[in-house]
Structure 1
Amino acid sequence: MSLIDKAIEFAAVAHREQRRKGTEIPYISHPYAVGMILQRAGCSEEVVAAGILHDTLEDTDTTEEDLLAFFGPKVLEIVKGCSEPDKGASWEERKQHTLDELKHATVAIRQTSCADKLHNIRSIKRDLKQYGEEAWSRFKRGRDSQEWYYKGLVESLGYKSRFKLLEELEDEVEEVFGPSLDNAEWRKLRRNRKFFDLAFETVFGNQEQLEERRAHFERIGAWELIKKVHQRAYPIHPEYEADFDRLANYLVERGIEFQSNSERPIILIGFCTALMQLLNLYPHEIYHHFKRNLKRGIL
């Protein structure tokens, strides 16, 4: 019997008496769906098995010794990484702990957690279509707290590095919580590395450099966007001032060093803030693009 088949049988027994929150749907449908998401994403057999088993430690009588004996140390490590250790803490404390731990977790743990949250938010989206805002009443915390948590998850899961499933989660979170992009066509540019590299080559607003790259921007449908970025970057758009300060602190905390005796940092951070706001990017996305262009010698 394969590891995945063993996980399916084990989870079916462990969750046999449980139902999905506020429904009569057997709970096992959720871990099965998580396993399928991971399998479609091309994850290893151990990661898929861990996805199927991810709630067994937290929500059933299963012990770490059980998982180690049946599935080995790698699966146990992933399931532990996806479990909340202190059920006695408040909802806010438990979720903040999860966000903190995921920033530095292995790719396997982050993929599994991402698949878990991806299935959950798709279920939320389905319920919102069927029941409207009443769907939030099923949760211990309402819409605002859920928005804080899910947006925090996207940031934490991508803190070390990006991976394909995270792009799906990011899109679903935006669809449920917003805001929508000013131009829906810009969404395809969010994962276009060529666009970001071109954009950072114009970071200091030199009109000649911008015009030199105009044909390239137009070819990928980004000319209007890059013009708007520069219009709102320096001086910074009034609506972005608080985000400017937050992003500046974030980049410094992550080790980006800025010259203190010039206006270059203001231009750089203003540009990044405008880019982040106009494309609904997360701070970690700006950081990764910033670091790459530092290595390219652009900044």
Structure 2
Amino acid sequence: MLVERAKVFASAAHAAIGQRRRYTDEPYIVHPAEVAGIVASVGGDEEMIAAAYLHDIVEDTQITQEMILEFFGPSVAKLVEELTDVSRPQDGNRQARKEIDRRRLGNASPRAKTIKLADLISNSTNIIQHDRWFAKVYMQEKKLLLEVLSEGDSSLYQRAQTIVSEYYAEQEARRLLRRGEQDV
């Protein structure tokens, strides 16, 4: 089965380089598995779920896009390609690189955008919970990213928007609370 092959392949590729999940030190495959589960929960097809397992593999491991094509076929390879960041350190600072990747994602298929929404949901939840300092930068990036992901699954888009909105509402509440404490 395609999904099971993608799961095993991604697990092995991420484990081969000793990649662990930041903040929790869990095996990295926990994140792609969560993304795949989110995609499956909204009726994603087998190729989308397989691509969800493989979505970080070209960026993070020694696996190439050509290998994805060879082992998983053109449809999965196309989705992984659409999800793989193309910016490089020489393209400028983080903001400039994220803009390059965001523009590219704007041209991705609705299927790829659905996977990216699942990725955003998984990562945002983890980062907000474990790194409030980085969350300030990350959530601003995700707020901008949502502008190009509206063609993805509507329920995931709404869920991602809610995460971003709730984050900013909480930040504003904290700001007002701090301001109120200073006025006392």
Q: TM-score range by the shorter chain?
A: 0.7 to 0.9
Work out whether 1:136 is the aligned partner of 2:127. Answer: no
Q: What letter matches 1:31 in structure 2?
A: P
Paired-residue identity, %: 32
Q: Distance in 1 between matches of 2:163 and 2:78?
A: 27
Q: Which of 129, 136, 139 is the aligned partner of 1:147?
A: 139
What residue is the counterpart of 1:106 in the other structure? 109
Q: What letter matches 1:171 in structure 2?
A: T
Cα distance change, pair 147–126 in 1 and its aligned pair in 2 (3 A): closer
Asked if structure 1 preserves the Cα contact closer than 8 Å seen for 2:13 and 2:57, the reply is yes
Instruction: Give aligned pairs, total.
Output: 167
Q: What letter matches 2:8 in structure 1?
A: E
Deviation at 1:20, TM superposition (A): 1.4
Q: TM-score, normalised by structure 2?
A: 0.84
Cα deviation 1:181-226 (Å, max 9, x = unaligned):
xxxxxxxxxxxxxxxxxxxxxxxxxxxxxxxxxxxxxxxxxxxxxx
Q: Distance in 2 between matches of 1:3 and 1:115?
A: 19
> Equivalent residue of 2:147, what SS?
helix
Q: Distance in 1 between matches of 2:105 and 2:97?
A: 12
What residue is the counterpart of 2:49 in the other structure? 48
Structure 2: state its 5+ residue gaps.
172-184
> Equivalent residue of 1:156, what SS?
coil
Q: Distance in 2 between matches of 1:46 and 1:161?
A: 15
Q: Distance in 1 between matches of 2:156 and 2:87?
A: 27
Q: What letter matches 2:82 in structure 1?
A: G
Report which of the two structures shows the higher radius of gyration computed on alpha carbons. Answer: 1
> Equivalent residue of 1:152, what SS?
helix
Deviation at 1:4, TM superposition (A): 0.2
Work out whether 1:8 is the aligned partner of 2:7. Answer: yes
Q: Distance in 1 between matches of 2:58 and 2:20?
A: 17
What residue is the counterpart of 1:24 in the other structure? 25
Q: RMSD over aligned Cα, in angstroms? A: 1.9
Asked if structure 1 preserves the Cα contact closer than 8 Å seen for 2:124 and 2:139, the reply is no
> Equivalent residue of 1:85, what SS?
coil
Structure 1 runs (4+) deviating above 6 angstroms are none
Asked if structure 1 preserves the Cα contact closer than 8 Å seen for 2:42 and 2:153, the reply is no
What residue is the counterpart of 2:178 in the other structure? none
- Of Structure 1 and Structure 2, the greater helix share is in 2
Deviation at 1:161, TM superposition (A): 6.8
What residue is the counterpart of 1:169 in the other structure? 160
What residue is the counterpart of 1:115 in the other structure? 118
Q: Distance in 1 between matches of 2:153 and 2:56?
A: 24
Deviation at 1:9, TM superposition (A): 0.3
Matches within 5 A, 1:1-299: 2-16=1-15, 17-88=18-89, 89=91, 90-127=93-130, 135-137=131-133, 139=134, 143=136, 145-158=137-150, 160=151, 163-178=154-169
> Equivalent residue of 1:80, what SS?
helix
